[in-house]
Amino acid sequence: MEYCYQPEIEKASREEIKNIQSERLVNIVKHVYENVPLYRERMDNIGIKPEDIKSVDDLNKLPFTSKQDLRDTYPYGMFAVPMENVARLHASSGTTGKQIVVGYTQKDLDNWGDIVARQLAAAGIEKSDKVHVAYGYGLFTGGLGIAEGARRLGCTSIPVSSGNTARQLTILEDFGSDAIACTPSYAMYLGESAEKAGIDTKKLPLRVGIFGAEPWTEEMRREIEKSLSIKAYDIYGLTEIMGPGVAYECSEQNGMHVNEDHFIIEILDPETHLPVKDGEKGEIVFTCLTKEAFPVIRFRTKDIGTITHEKCGCGRTFVRMSKPMGRIDDMLIIRGVNVFPSQIETVLLQMNLSPNYQIIVDRKGVLDTLEVQVEITEGIFSDTISDISRLEHELADRLKSTLGIAAKATFVAAGSIARSEGKAKRVIDRRNLD
């Protein structure tokens, strides 16, 4: 039996889950109304009192929370407990605008450990395993969040943090890590570096990877599984809600189960704000049910995804969310067409091209231009110049048929695109649209 697997809740009936959510929603609404001025004002403005919220069926009466609200109340305006009860602060890794500060009470940290432990258990990690944590430790929630889960599970965590790839490889080899947690782009880089260093990953004890914090495709999963000789699991989360562990993959690897005893997920049409049907794309919106220090209600994540209530082969009853298919704010509008970086990545990997790529958007006169630069891999390198130009044409054709707009495809030297130790930066937009 997997330790930290919690079938009494993970396999509860939908009715039981609804009851737990309803009870917790009533409490959390009271908590935010009493303690967070922004929520009290918003609810007063629309004439809603905490007593009006009796179950999850009343969720749609509540106001939304946006990232801008969190910026406007920076740093502590959304905290719902006195600072003396806050055990830890984290901050969003946002590169634009003011960062967002979030807080956790001791109980919040315990709950966080519990849900991350569920995820580690669902990926087959056991008490006797050593987990190499290569997410950044610090204000970013990745490192310490996974560490909370490892501690709760009772396994050994190795807090390597991010950076220094040669050292990461030495540790993987010498310490005998069984599992690794980092961003998928860094996992790709580690695999590539292991090969260069002549390390046979099949001979390492490493068998599981827990990857998330940025978009990645099924093709990338297969690459990572091959290069690191592991099984790779997806994990989703965000600073404003908790950090890693909001949703997790099970052995079926067919969507991520949302920890519904702690969070309610809604998928809403970004324009009408009404719920879409299972399987239909929309904006992912989360409500925290148990957070004491930083509970947010109907937080608009700007991530785009779908959910399904279909039965999962693992027996868990928690609703499953798809991999986020992009972000509303990552969506590039090029010559009026919506383009997501993930579409481009899928084309590259379907053609067995390098996953190291960059998207460059520019404007010549009034016309937007799109260029995809991708590194040459060894197989291509041995081809003649005319073969390379044939491949560039093929890539440009495929991009055009997938995206619906013309794109220039350019091969660049292997290793010339900057590698990231955390989240990869894929898009360079030179249009100065702001």
- Give the residues lining the site for ligand DLL (CB under 6 A): 92-93, 135, 141-142, 212-215, 234-239, 243-244, 301, 303, 323-324, 327
Q: How far apart are CA 91 and CA 369, in angstroms?
A: 35
Cα–Cα distances in Å, from 205 out to 63, 119, 134, 246? 49, 20, 17, 28
CB of 116 to ligand DLL, least distance (A): 9
Report the Cα–Cα distance between both ends of the chain, in Å, rounded: 54
Alpha carbon distance 295, 286 (integer Å): 10
CB of 140 to ligand DLL, least distance (A): 6
Virtual torsion, Cα 331, 333, 334, 340, nearest 10 deg: 20
Q: Closer CB to ligand DLL, residue 323 or residue 398?
A: 323
Residues in a beta bridge with 249: 256
Least distance in angstroms from the C-beta of 221 to ligand DLL = 11
Nearer to ligand DLL, 170 or 338 (CB): 338
Sort 384 into a burial class: Cβ within 10 Å, 0-12 / 13-18 / 19+. exposed
Task: Tell me the two tokens of residue 415.
Answer: 């290793």
Smallest separation, CB 119 to ligand DLL (Å): 10
By C-beta, is 22 or 239 nearer to ligand DLL?
239
CB of 1 to ligand DLL, least distance (A): 26
Q: Which is nearer to ligand DLL, 225 or 362 (CB)?
A: 225
| Host H or E run for residue 265 | strand 263-268
Nearer Cβ to ligand DLL, position 119 or 290? 119
Torsion angles phi and psi, residue 114, rounded to 5: -65, -45
Positive or negative, the Cα torsion across 351, 352, 353, 357? positive
Cα–Cα distance between 357 and 427 in angstroms, integer?
Answer: 9
Which single residue is written with the structure tokens 């579409």?
343
CB of residue 406 vs ligand DLL: minimum separation in angstroms?
Answer: 28
Contact by Cβ (8 Å): 217, 349: yes
Q: How far is the CB of 95 from ligand DLL (least distance, A)?
A: 10
301 vs 306, which CB is nearer to ligand DLL?
Answer: 301
Output 138 or 404, the one with its CB closest to ligand DLL.
Answer: 138
Nearer Cβ to ligand DLL (157/239) = 239
Cis bond leading into 50, ω under 30°? no
Closest separation in Å from C-beta 142 to ligand DLL? 4
